[in-house]
Structure formats: C-alpha cells, structure tokens
Amino acid sequence: MLPGTNILETQHPLIGTAGNNNVKLRFVFSSDGSVQREGFGVDSLAIDFITGIEDQTANNIQFSIYPNPSEGQFILRNGENADSYSVMVFDPRGKVVYDQRINFAARDQRLIDLSAQAKGIYLMKISNAENSFTRKIVIQ
C-alpha cells in the first residue's frame, strides 16, 4: 500500500515475452466475495522495450553493441569500414563517463568497460570525421 492511501502499487516484469512481436496484457479483478466496492483502476502503465543485439547503420557507420542490456561490459563491433572513431558514453544526467578515440579495422571489436558505472540507461555516441550516431545502452 502507498502511505496514506488504500492504493496497492505492483510491478510485474514480463521477462517471458522477449522476442515476441505481440504481447497482450489483461487486467482482471477478482474477489473472494467480501469486497463491496467497485472494481479497480489503472492509474498509469509503463512498458519499456529493451533490445538485445543492435546492428546499427547510420550514415555509413556500422556497429553492433552487445550484450545490451549488460552488467557494464559491452562489445562494440565494427562493420566493414576501417576508421578512427570517437566513442563517448553519457550518463542519465548528460555527464560524459567514457570518452576514447579508437582505431577500428574492418570487422574489429573492442570491449567498452562501464562496470564502474551505476545501473541505468546511458547513451553511446560513435562518430568519425563525417558522421555520428547515438544509441541507448542499459547497465543492469
């Protein structure tokens, strides 16, 4: 119960729904017969979708970031373009928590270690001299 109310707050992770395109939610009110008030209400409902491996292509920049979510260690895998890239990671408040220039060969991969960071949603920005793109990563 939320303090000072008769409102019950619950959370139910839908872990078994990963990979499904359609997920149906059903709310059912049931009583043992002793409840004399009307049903129930849903004040707010939040559904967050987090993907696993993300193959991203933006303006000729091709990278995979995995696993995502992770406990803080991410593999950043380059596509076919060898180049020097700036890799920056921003925390939920916008503070830069990782900033490295990395020279990638074609199909190269590097470990990005953010395990010292708090759990949360971060933004990883990857850029070269001509292009950049940003993707969400999750530390759990």
Edge-first strand listing for the sheet containing 120-127: 96-104, 83-90, 120-127, 132-139
Q: β-strands 61-66, 73-78: how paired?
A: antiparallel
The domain defined by 54-139 carries CATH number 2.60.40.3080:
yes
pLDDT tens by residue, 57-111:
455 678 889 999 999 999 999 888 889 999 999 998 899 999 999 999 988 999 9
pLDDT in tens, 17-27: 555 556 666 66
pLDDT of res. 132: 84
User: Which of 49-53, 59-63, 76-80, 116-120 bottoms out in mean pLDDT, i.e. has the lowest?
Assistant: 49-53
Q: Are 72 and 117 in contact (CB under 8 A)?
A: yes
Which band of pLDDT confidence, cut at 50, 70 and 90, is reported for residue 131? confident
Average pLDDT, the chain: 78
* Residues 136, 121 contacting (CB under 8 angstroms): yes
Show me where the domains of the chain are located: 54-139
Determine if the peptide bond prior to 67 is cis (ω within 30°): yes
Do residues 126 and 132 touch, judged by C-beta distance below 8 A? yes
Confidence at residue 69, expressed as pLDDT on a 0 to 100 scale: 93
Helix (H) or strand (E) holding 94: none
pLDDT of residue 51: 46
Please name which of 55, 106, 103 lies closest in space to residue 81, comparing C-alpha atoms. Answer: 106
Q: How confident is the model at residue 56, as a pLDDT?
A: 44
- State residue 57's pLDDT score: 47
